[in-house]
C-alpha cells in the first residue's frame, strides 16, 4: 500500500495531472510563446503566423473550443513530441518551460 504522501505524487503523475508540479508561470510562457511559437501560430494564437504558408499543414488555432477541452497532458505531449508538421520541443525547452507554455496557452484559449 502506498503511503498517502507518495500517493499525492504518484497518482497525479500517472493521470497526467499538472497539480503534481510547481505552479506554472504564464508570464514566462508568454515570452516562450513569442520567441518560439508565434512565427507559426501568430501573435494571438489564431494559426496565422508569418510562416503559416511555408508548412504543408496549417498551424493549429490555439484559441478555439477544441483547444479549451484538451487536457494539459495532451498539450504537453504535442509540444514535447511534435505533431504533424509541428516540431518537437523536448530538446529545446525544459519541463518547467513546457508547463509555463501550456499555462500561457490556457490564457490564449479563454
Q: Where are the domains of the chain?
A: 4-108
pTM value > 0.85? no
68-81: pLDDT as tens digits? 999 999 999 999 99
Fold exhibited by the domain 4-108? Cytochrome Bc1 Complex; Chain D, domain 2 (1.10.760)
Would you say 100 and 75 are in contact if contact means Cβ atoms under 8 Å apart? no
As a whole number of angstroms, the distance between CA 60 and CA 42 comes to 10
Please name the residue that has the C-alpha cell 496549417. Answer: 58
For the chain, what's the residue count?
110
Q: Which three cell numbers stand for residue 2?
A: 502506498
Could you tell me which of 81, 80, 86, 85 has the C-alpha nearest to residue 101?
Answer: 80
40-72: pLDDT as tens digits? 999 999 999 999 999 899 999 999 999 999 999
Amino acid at each position: 500500500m502506498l503511503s498517502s504522501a507518495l500517493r499525492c505524487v504518484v497518482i497525479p503523475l500517472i493521470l497526467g495531472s499538472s497539480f503534481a508540479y510547481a505552479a506554472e508561470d504564464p508570464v514566462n510562457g508568454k515570452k516562450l510563446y513569442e520567441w518560439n511559437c508565434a512565427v507559426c501560430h501568430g501573435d494571438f494564437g489564431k494559426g496565422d503566423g508569418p510562416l503559416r504558408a511555408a508548412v504543408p499543414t496549417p498551424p493549429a488555432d490555439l484559441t478555439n473550443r477544441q483547444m479549451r477541452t484538451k487536457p494539459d497532458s495532451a498539450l504537453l505531449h504535442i509540444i514535447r513530441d511534435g505533431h504533424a508538421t509541428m516540431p518537437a520541443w523536448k530538446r529545446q525547452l525544459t519541463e518547467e518551460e513546457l508547463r509555463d507554455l501550456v499555462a500561457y496557452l490556457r490564457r490564449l484559449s479563454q
